[in-house]
Amino acid sequence: MRHQPSMRATLRLQMRGLVGLLLPVLALMLQGCGNSALEPWHTEQLPAEFTAERTDITDFDAYQALEDAVFAELDSEVYAAVGTGPEFSLVRYSAGSMADPQKRDPNRNRSFELAVDTPVGGVLLLHGLTDSPYSLRALGEALHAKGYQVLGLRLPGHGTAPSGLLDLRWQDMAAAVQLAMAHLAEQVDGRPVHIIGYSTGAPLAIHYALDAMEGVSPVPATLVLVSPAIGVSPAAALAKWQDRLALVPGLGGLAWLQIQPEFDPYKYNSFATNAADQVHRLTRVVARRVAARARSNPAEVLPPTLVFQSTVDATVSTNAVVDELLTQLALDRHELVLFDINRAAVKSTLLVSDPGPLTAELMGDASLPFGLDLITNENPDSTDVVNRHRPALSDEITVTSLGFAWPNGVISLSHVALPFPPDDPLYGERPPDNDDVLFLGQMDIKGERGLLHMPADWLMRLRHNPFYVYLEQRTLEWLDVDERVRRGS
C-alpha cells in the first residue's frame, strides 16, 4: 500500500510551494519599487492610439491619419509637460533637444512608405518591442533601391512614449500588420510581398503568415526574421502578476520592469511590465500554432524563411529558434544564419556560457531540415571571418571566405546589433563629423562606475553589425526566387 503523507507533511509541502511562488514576485516588487520617479512619458496616455477594436480604421490610409492624431497628443500631453534648455539637452521629450526625434526630418518613429513606379514586389518591415521603424531603415532603403515597394510599419504603442506600452496588447499589433499587408499587396498589384520581422516583429510576421495560409490574403512569398523573439525568458511569464499588483495603491512602480532616462530618439529605454507579458503571450501563441500546423500540414508550415541570429543573445533564446521554429518546418525550404562570437578575442574560460557546443551540434547534425550558415573566425587565432555552410539534411560543410574581419575590441554581436550597418549615424561604429548630432553607437568610455545615468551594460552592448553587408546581401538574395533556387534553398 502506498504511504500517505501526514497532514503536517502535506502542509509543509504546500507552504514550500507557496514560498517558491512568492519569492519571484517579491523580487519583482522590490525591483519595481526601487525604480526612479515616473516622468510624463511614463504616465500620460495617448487615447487616439490604434487598437484591434477600432472598427472605424479599415485601411492603412486611415491608420496613418490616426497616427497623425497620436503624435498630436504626444505633443500636447508629453512634450508640453517637459522643460527645455541646456539641462534637458539629452531628454528625448524636450522640444529641440539633441535627442528630440521631432526635429529630424523625417521623424523615423513614424510609419513610412518607399514607393516605386513599377515595383518588383513589396516588403513589409516590422520592428521590435520598444523600437520604431528606424530599426529597419537601412535594410528598407537597400530594398527600395532594388525596386521593391517598402512599407515600414509603426506598431501601436511605439515611437511615441513608453506609456504606450502600459495597455498595449499583442492583438493590436497583429491587427495593424493585417492592415499594412493588405495595403502593400494592393500597391504592388499581384507581385510577391515579403515580410521582414525584427525581434518581436518576427512572431508577428509568423502569426500573419499562418493566418494568410489559412485563408487571409495575401500569403507572404518569404519571411526574413532578424533576432526573432521565438522564445523569451521564463521570467516573462511572471510579468502579468506584477502588472496586476501595480494596481494596488502605492505599488504603481510595479507597472515597470525598468525605468531609465529617455535619451534614445528611436527606442524606449524604459520597459513596461505589460510589454513583457504581451511578448510572452505572443510567442506562446505562435509556438502552439507552428506546432499544430506542422502536424496538420507538414509539407508547408510557413513560406520560405531565412533567420539571422547571434549565437549569444541576452533578449531571446537561440535554442528556441531551432527547437520551436526551424525543426518544425518543411524540409529544405529554410535557412539559419548564425553569427558566432569572436573566438580570437575571447577564450572559453572567460565566458559565462560558450555557444560552441550548440554550433558544433548544429553543424554536425545531418538530420536537420534547414540549411545553416555559421559566420565565424577562420581559425581560433585569426580575426578573418568565413562562412561555414551546411545544407539541409547533410553533414557536408563548405567554407567560404567573406573578405572581412572582426573589428578590434568587438567580442560578439548582440540582439540589438544585427539590423544596423556600421555607418549608421546613431548606433554605428563612429560618430558623424557633425558634433551637434547625437551619437549612441560604439563609445570608448573609461572612468568610475556609477558616474553616468547610462548603465555599464548599456555602454558595453554592441549596437551595429560589422557584418551587416552580408545580412543585406543574403536578404536580397532570399527575396529573389531565382537566386534562392540557385543557392539550393
Q: Which residue has the cell 568610475?
A: 448
Which 3 state secondary structure label does DSSP give 165? helix
Provide mean pLDDT across the span 266-290: 94
What does the block give as the cell for 338? 548564425
Is residue 18 pLDDT above 50, yes or no?
no
At 440, is the pLDDT very low, low, confident or very high (cuts 50, 70, 90)?
A: confident
Distance CA 184, CA 119 (A): 11
Is residue 25 pLDDT above 60, yes or no?
no
Answer for the pair 245, 29: CB distance below 8 angstroms, yes or no.
yes
Answer for the pair 321, 328: CB distance below 8 angstroms, yes or no.
no
What does the block give as the cell for 405? 574581419
At 216, is the pLDDT very low, low, confident or very high (cuts 50, 70, 90)?
A: confident
At 14, is the pLDDT very low, low, confident or very high (cuts 50, 70, 90)?
A: very low
Average pLDDT, the chain: 86
pLDDT of residue 485: 58
Distance CA 459, CA 408 (A): 16
Answer for the pair 148, 121: CB distance below 8 angstroms, yes or no.
yes
Provide mean pLDDT across the span 71-82: 97
How many CB atoms sit inside 10 A of residue 459's CB? 13
Is residue 139 pLDDT above 50, yes or no?
yes
CB contact burial 408-424 (16+ within 10 A = b; e otherwise):
eebbbbbbbbbbbbbeb
Name the nearest CA neighbour of 158 among 232, 107, 230: 107
Cross-strand partners of 225: 197, 307
Distance CA 215, CA 210 (A): 9
DSSP per-residue string spanning 355-385: SHHHHHHHHH-TT-SSEEEEEEESSTT--EE
Provide mean pLDDT across the span 278-289: 95
What does the block give as the cell for 375? 559566420
CA 158 from chain centre, in angstroms, equals 13
Answer for the pair 475, 139: CB distance below 8 angstroms, yes or no.
yes
pLDDT digits (tens, 9 = 90+) for 290-320: 999 999 999 999 999 999 999 988 888 888 9
Mean pLDDT check: name the lowest of 6-15, 172-181, 469-478: 6-15
Distance CA 350, CA 467 (A): 24
Task: Return the axis-axis angle of helices 468-479 and 137-145, rounded to nearest 10°.
Answer: 50
Is residue 203 pLDDT above 80, yes or no?
yes
Per DSSP, 252 falls in state G
Which residues, other chains included, contact 345 with Cβ-Cβ below 8 Å and sequence gap of 6+? 383, 406, 409, 410, 411
Is residue 44 pLDDT above 70, yes or no?
yes
Provide mean pLDDT across the span 262-288: 94
Q: Which amino acid appears at position 238 of this protein?
A: L
pTM: 0.89
At 460, is the pLDDT very low, low, confident or very high (cuts 50, 70, 90)?
A: confident
Mean pLDDT check: name the lowest of 32-36, 167-171, 196-200, 348-352: 32-36
**Side-chain-side CA neighbours of residue 342 (13 Å):** 21
At 473, is the pLDDT very low, low, confident or very high (cuts 50, 70, 90)?
A: very high
Which 3 state secondary structure label does DSSP give 336? strand
Is residue 13 pLDDT above 50, yes or no?
no
pLDDT of residue 19: 39
Q: In 156-236, where do the E strands start and end?
A: 193-198, 223-226
What does the block give as the cell for 252? 504603481
**CA torsion, points 138, 319, 274, 415, in degrees to nearest 10?**
-30
Provide mean pLDDT across the span 54-78: 96
Is residue 20 pLDDT above 80, yes or no?
no
pLDDT of residue 29: 47
Provide mean pLDDT across the span 475-485: 80
Distance CA 431, CA 446 (A): 17
pLDDT digits (tens, 9 = 90+) for 335-347: 999 999 999 887 7
Name the nearest CA neighbour of 310 among 199, 192, 473: 199
Q: For residues 91 and 432, which has the higher predicted lDDT (pLDDT)?
A: 91
pLDDT of residue 253: 66
Is residue 453 pLDDT above 70, yes or no?
no
Is residue 49 pLDDT above 80, yes or no?
yes
pLDDT of residue 8: 44
Answer for the pair 415, 230: CB distance below 8 angstroms, yes or no.
no
pLDDT of residue 35: 45
Provide mean pLDDT across the span 235-262: 66
Distance CA 58, CA 60 (A): 7
Is residue 11 pLDDT above 50, yes or no?
no
Is residue 386 pLDDT above 70, yes or no?
yes
Whether the upstream peptide bond of residue 162 has omega within 30° of 0, thus cis, is no
Which percentage of the chain shows pLDDT scores above 70? 82
Q: Are strands 148-153 and 112-114 parallel, antiparallel or unpaired?
A: antiparallel
